[in-house]
Amino acid sequence: MTVIAIMVVLFLGGIIAWLSEAWNKDWPKWVAVGTCVIAGVVLLPLVYQADSLIAFSDADSSTWIELYEYPWIPRFGIHILFGLDGLSLLMVGLTIFLGFVAVVSSWDEIEKSPGFFQFNILWTLAGVVGVFTSLDMFLFFFFWEVMLIPMYLLIAIWGHENRSYASMKFFLFTQLSGLVMLIAILVLVILNGADSGVLTFNYFELMKHQLSPDVSYWIMWGFFVAFVVKLPGFPFHSWLPDAHTQAPTAASVLLAGILLKTGAYGLLRFTIPLFPEAALQIANIAMTLGVIGIIYGAMLAFAQTDFKRLVAYSSISHMGFVLVGLYAWNELSIQGSVIQMVAHGLSTAALFMTAGAIQHRLHTRDTRDMGGLWHDMPRMGAVAMFFMVASLGMPGLGNFVGEILVLFGTFKVNPPIAVAASIGLITGAVYALIAMQRVFQGERKLTRNLRDFGVREMTAMIPLMILLIFLGVYPQPIFDLISPALSNLYSTSVNQIPWVGGLK
């Protein structure tokens, strides 16, 4: 019930936040913070359950901490089927945590309709929690679309100067690719139903499908495109810089921190396990796209003069590692991808908050107008330095663990790809350090008094820093949490076909 409880808390919290606006403009944000805290508290007991599950995982093959099913639309075999394993738990935890951070980060940024703003934030979170826990394809698609609308509204209403274009582009890309996925889901379900005589959207049942390689190859593309658009992978990335740049800080944090992860999660949970053979066929294409994303994203990030755009392109570069790791498909590289997802979520969220804070103070995102900000805002400078260094992959911080595992794993499968991907570590250092230099060091271009990070901002930043260090120094608890789920995903697909270079 925990998953449903969390979603109910978030949905209700959103409505209460909206209504509370009528009494006091300050209440919505407190309601939103309270909602995130309550959701976190509800989730907490599961972490302990997860421990016990791991302890017994050898005896019992089930990797699910929670699993429940209610009929929804029996006509099509559609159920409300939620399942939570270590992977989902980690992603849900990240979602709620970053939700909290996002609310805190936009504490006094929102002046118009704060209630509706927090409503959209909380509903986005609820939709994302649904995506991370749905195991019925219809339910999954349902949440996949539900999370878009509040995010669209966040960009369209509270975005910056070019919000109309950006929000439209964001919605069109994700919605169209979603439709392609819907058709792919339906083809899978109906063909599977024709074979087995039972229409079902159940993930576990669909795993047993016996479709011909040709058919599954095409269906797989439908899923692949939808998830890679969201990731975003190389040819489909162009919505991301616009959306991120125009979005208000909190929405950027949610977009980079968790919405992008839904794409990677979808590949990991659905595309590859459902169609292992077809996924193998395109593994090289996918990894190549990942590498192109890594290098191309880094190059474009280097060329940006808009601070938010720079961070956005760096996201494309980092998510390229996730794509490479997933399609290398061995335990090492998948674990690396998951760690990279979490670490990127944390570090990029922090960078977007910094960018938002700078824009809030300077009313510009143009790095050419900045310079020497460290002088006025040493705390902000130090924080930005920390996260920039984290994002360039400094050992000891979370991103390094993710990237290095991906590279190790990939090397066993496809050395040229691994070599090419590792270029990303160098280019990452180049754009991150250049950005630091342009913004925080050098000559002071503004002599205005700028307010440094205060207590509120630091309360949001310090947990992020601690988590990143923790991930970088002692990632073992995370591995313990996710590895039963990952090896389950891995072994079910590897049992069907021997993957090249699979490590077991």
Say whether residue 15 binds another protein (CB under 8 A).
no
Smaller CB distance to another protein: residue 171 or 224?
171
User: Which residue has 């977009």 as its token pair?
Assistant: 255
Q: Residues of 83-95 as b/e, b for ≥16 C-beta within 10 angstroms?
A: bbbbbbbbbbbbb
Q: Which of 42, 49, 64, 113 binds another protein (CB under 8 A)?
A: 113
Say whether residue 140 binds another protein (CB under 8 A).
no
The nearest distance, CB 453 to another protein, in angstroms, is: 30
The nearest distance, CB 499 to another protein, in angstroms, is: 30
User: Which residue has 């709620």 as its token pair?
Assistant: 96
Smaller CB distance to another protein: residue 149 or 450?
149
Say whether residue 180 binds another protein (CB under 8 A).
yes
Say whether residue 76 binds another protein (CB under 8 A).
yes
Q: Which of 11, 27, 141, 440 binds another protein (CB under 8 A)?
A: 141
Which residues are within 8 A (CB) of 134 and not within 5 positions of it... i.e. 6 or more apart? 81, 82, 140, 142, 143
The nearest distance, CB 147 to another protein, in angstroms, is: 10
Stretch that binds another protein, among 23-31, 102-110, 160-168, 467-475 (CB under 8 A): 160-168
Say whether residue 201 binds another protein (CB under 8 A).
no
The nearest distance, CB 241 to another protein, in angstroms, is: 20
The nearest distance, CB 312 to another protein, in angstroms, is: 22
Contact 147, 130 (CB under 8 A): yes
Stretch that binds another protein, among 168-176, 280-288, 402-410, 483-491 (CB under 8 A): 168-176
Stretch that binds another protein, among 51-59, 167-175, 471-479, 486-494 (CB under 8 A): 167-175
Say whether residue 168 binds another protein (CB under 8 A).
yes
Q: Which of 266, 251, 438, 181 is nearest to 242 (CA)?
A: 251
d(CA 337, CA 482): 12
The nearest distance, CB 444 to another protein, in angstroms, is: 35
Counting residues that bind another protein (by CB under 8 A) gives 32
User: Which residue has 């977007």 as its token pair?
Assistant: 352
Smaller CB distance to another protein: residue 189 or 380?
189
Contact 121, 103 (CB under 8 A): yes
Say whether residue 74 binds another protein (CB under 8 A).
yes
Say whether residue 198 binds another protein (CB under 8 A).
no
The nearest distance, CB 56 to another protein, in angstroms, is: 37
Ramachandran class of 393: left when φ > 0, alpha when ψ lies in -120 to 50, beta otherwise: left
Bridge partners (DSSP) listed for residue 366: 306
Run of H or E including 368: none
Say whether residue 75 binds another protein (CB under 8 A).
yes
Stretch that binds another protein, among 152-160, 334-342, 445-453, 459-467 (CB under 8 A): 152-160
3-state secondary structure 34-63: HHHHHHHHHHHHHHHHHHHHHHCCCCCCCC
Say whether residue 224 binds another protein (CB under 8 A).
no
Write down the H helix ranges in 363-414. Answer: 373-376, 378-391, 398-413
> 254, exposed or middle or buried, with CB in 10 Å at 0-12, 13-18, 19+?
buried
Size of the chain in residues:
504
Contact 331, 84 (CB under 8 A): no
d(CA 455, CA 347): 19
The nearest distance, CB 27 to another protein, in angstroms, is: 17
Q: Which of 277, 278, 271 is nearest to 230 (CA)?
A: 271
Say whether residue 70 binds another protein (CB under 8 A).
no
Bridge partners (DSSP) listed for residue 503: none
Contact 102, 250 (CB under 8 A): yes
Q: Which of 369, 388, 360 is nearest to 454 (CA)?
A: 360
Q: Which of 109, 145, 277, 480 binds another protein (CB under 8 A)?
A: 145
Say whether residue 171 binds another protein (CB under 8 A).
yes
Stretch that binds another protein, among 145-153, 263-271, 412-420, 450-458 (CB under 8 A): 145-153
Say whether residue 446 binds another protein (CB under 8 A).
no
Q: Which of 11, 100, 142, 307 binds another protein (CB under 8 A)?
A: 142
Stretch that binds another protein, among 3-11, 89-97, 170-178, 255-263 (CB under 8 A): 170-178
Bridge partners (DSSP) listed for residue 66: 84
d(CA 399, CA 397): 6
User: Which residue has 């209700």 as its token pair?
Assistant: 12
Smaller CB distance to another protein: residue 67 or 180?
180
Residues that bind another protein (CB under 8 A): 71-76, 112-113, 141-142, 145-146, 148-149, 152-153, 156-157, 164, 167-168, 171-172, 175-176, 179-180, 182-183, 186-187, 190
